[in-house]
């Protein structure tokens, strides 16, 4: 991991491709790209193994850290013709091992179950990025059973094992509902080693800091959740909050944007950079547009490829080996232990805070 560099400290920190110190002037090369050059890294996409699909921005929650800006009033939703086109592409693909469904709350999309059934019929693994409380919403009463019946892996956000921290980030009453949903999933066999039904949790820091080391935090979560609520789960993922959209606005309001940007840049980890998730996946927007990752999707940073939507390609392999669109929010994926949709990228005992 690279330590403080006096030149880097005096340079202007770039966020979302614009300087946070000079009023937003656009540079030809981002600080992140310069960091890759400094470390002699040339990162291109490898063979695709994960297709990440945002099924829409509709959600029953409006979390403070949400980079999607999802919420109950959002109307962007993936339509059936887009779902069907993805099914066609998956049927022709031999390399995709996992389809990662996200949102918003993907379960609120009317075509969610249809899509899951089509994917599982192809023997491809499905991940549902579930916010837990959606399982208790009217009309979703049998969603947990549906997920079980189709062997869908559930990955759920739970930023802490205590009520105050969870409700602070996700809204009043969310913690109790999340615990109820986790107990429901446990009752169905999720999180139990012998069932094969995976239940993984996601930790996001409540404030402007990097996540602590993933391994020790997972052990702490398992002990507290089992002792206090009888809850079991398989693995904990630690994910760094990206300084974009809703979380960026929070940083601006609290005067922490510049210091948080410095923290991410000065915590650059070359080992993590070599394993960033965009090297093995592409992200599909609710409207069928193609992006390098979910964060680029939310910033509407286009993929560096002639094809811009799934309707422009005949095979997913056309998206392999391409250059990746990097901007300075990418420091969030390479800081400390690294961050991906599957948690930390490297092992480290060091915890970094502002």
Task: Report, as an integer, the average pLDDT of 113-135.
Answer: 97
pLDDT at 122: 97
pLDDT at 54: 95
pLDDT at 1: 39
pLDDT at 172: 63
pLDDT for residue 351 is more than 60: no
pLDDT for residue 353 is more than 50: no
Q: How confident is the model at residue 166 (pLDDT cuts 50, 70, 90)?
A: low
pLDDT one-digit tens code per residue, 231-267: 999 999 998 988 888 888 889 999 999 999 999 999 9
pLDDT one-digit tens code per residue, 268-326: 999 999 999 999 999 999 999 999 999 999 899 989 988 899 999 999 999 998 899 99
Sign of CA dihedral 33, 36, 40, 43: negative
pLDDT at 112: 98
Nearest 10 degrees: CA dihedral of 278, 22, 252, 15?
0
Task: Report, as an integer, the average pLDDT of 103-115.
Answer: 95
Q: How confident is the model at residue 165 (pLDDT cuts 50, 70, 90)?
A: low
Which residues are registered as beta bridge partners of 281? 50
pLDDT at 4: 38
Please provide the average confidence, as pLDDT, over all residues in the chain: 86
pLDDT at 125: 98
pLDDT for residue 212 is more than 50: yes
pLDDT for residue 6 is more than 80: no
Q: How confident is the model at residue 158 (pLDDT cuts 50, 70, 90)?
A: confident
pLDDT for residue 43 is more than 60: yes
Q: Is the peptide bond before 242 cis (omega within 30 degrees of 0)?
A: no
pLDDT at 69: 67
pLDDT at 162: 65
Which residues are registered as beta bridge partners of 156? 130, 201
Task: Please name each of the domains of the chain with its CATH number.
Answer: 46-241+278-323 (3.20.20.70)
pLDDT for residue 3 is more than 50: no
Over pLDDT 90: what percentage of the chain?
Answer: 66
Task: Report, as an integer, the average pLDDT of 138-156.
Answer: 97
Query: Cα separation of 85 and 91, whole Å?
Result: 10
Taking the model in full, what pTM does it have?
0.85
Over pLDDT 70: what percentage of the chain?
Answer: 84
pLDDT for residue 150 is more than 70: yes
- With tokens 């099914």, the residue in question is 87
Q: How confident is the model at residue 81 (pLDDT cuts 50, 70, 90)?
A: very high
pLDDT one-digit tens code per residue, 186-211: 999 999 989 999 999 998 887 889 99
pLDDT at 20: 38
């Amino acid at each position: 991991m690279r330590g403080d560099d006096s030149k880097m400290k005096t340079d202007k920190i770039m966020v979302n491709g614009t300087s946070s110190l000079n009023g937003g002037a656009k540079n030809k090369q981002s600080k992140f790209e310069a960091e890759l050059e400094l470390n002699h890294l040339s990162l291109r996409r490898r063979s695709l193994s994960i297709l990440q699909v945002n099924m829409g921005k509709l959600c029953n929650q409006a979390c403070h850290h949400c980079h999607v800006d999802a919420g109950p009033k959002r109307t962007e939703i993936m339509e059936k013709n887009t779902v069907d086109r993805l099914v066609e592409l998956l049927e022709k693909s031999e390399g995709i091992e996992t389809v990662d469904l996200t949102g918003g709350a993907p379960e609120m999309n009317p075509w969610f179950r249809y899509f899951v059934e089509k994917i599982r019929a192809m023997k491809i693994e499905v991940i549902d990025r579930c916010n837990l409380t959606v399982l208790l919403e009217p009309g979703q009463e049998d969603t947990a059973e549906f997920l079980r019946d189709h062997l869908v892996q559930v990955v759920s956000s739970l930023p802490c094992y205590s009520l105050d921290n969870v409700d602070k980030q996700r809204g009043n009453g969310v913690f109790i509902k999340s615990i109820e949903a986790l107990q429901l999933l446990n009752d169905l066999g999720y999180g139990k080693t012998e069932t094969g039904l995976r239940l993984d949790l996601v930790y996001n820091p409540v404030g402007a800091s990097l996540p602590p080391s993933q391994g020790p935090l997972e052990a702490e979560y398992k002990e507290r959740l089992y002792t206090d609520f009888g809850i079991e789960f398989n693995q904990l993922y630690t994910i760094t909050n990206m300084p974009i959209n809703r979380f960026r606005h929070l940083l601006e309001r609290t005067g922490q944007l510049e210091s948080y940007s410095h923290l991410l840049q000065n915590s650059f980890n070359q080992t993590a950079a070599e394993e960033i998730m965009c090297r093995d996946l592409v992200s599909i927007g609710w409207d069928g547009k193609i992006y390098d990752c979910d964060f680029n999707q939310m910033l509407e940073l286009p993929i560096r490829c002639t094809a811009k939507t799934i309707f422009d390609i005949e095979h997913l392999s056309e998206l392999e080996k391409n250059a990746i669109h990097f901007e300075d929010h990418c420091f969030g994926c390479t800081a400390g232990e690294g961050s991906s949709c599957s948690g930390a990228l490297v092992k480290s005992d060091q915890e970094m805070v502002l």
